[in-house]
Amino acid sequence: MREKIKMVSTADTGFFYTTFKNKRNTPDKLERKKYDPKAGRRVVFRETRIK
């Protein structure tokens, strides 16, 4: 049930986090505020597909 996802920064720095999510409990795309070291601040990260 758990699927690996990629969280990409909305600051267009190219930085990303990888994590797991349960598709059954959370069918929608995730948006989380996390630290982007390239931007030097906290920004919104959005879920994208892993290729």
Could you tell me the residue range of the domain that residue 44 belongs to?
2-48
What is this structure's pTM? 0.86
Measured CA to CA, the distance from residue 37 to residue 13 in angstroms comes to 9
Query: Can you give the pLDDT at residue 19?
Result: 95
Instruction: Tally the domains of the chain.
Output: 1
Per-residue pLDDT of the chain (51 residues; tens, 9 = 90+): 889 999 999 999 999 999 999 999 999 999 999 999 999 999 999 999 876
Query: Can you give the pLDDT at residue 30?
Result: 94
Measured CA to CA, the distance from residue 28 to residue 23 in angstroms comes to 8
CATH code: domain of residue 8: 2.20.28.120
Query: Can you give the pLDDT at residue 39?
Result: 95
Neighbours of 28 (CB within 10 A): 7
Neighbours of 38 (CB within 10 A): 12
Measured CA to CA, the distance from residue 33 to residue 43 in angstroms comes to 5
Measured CA to CA, the distance from residue 7 to residue 4 in angstroms comes to 10
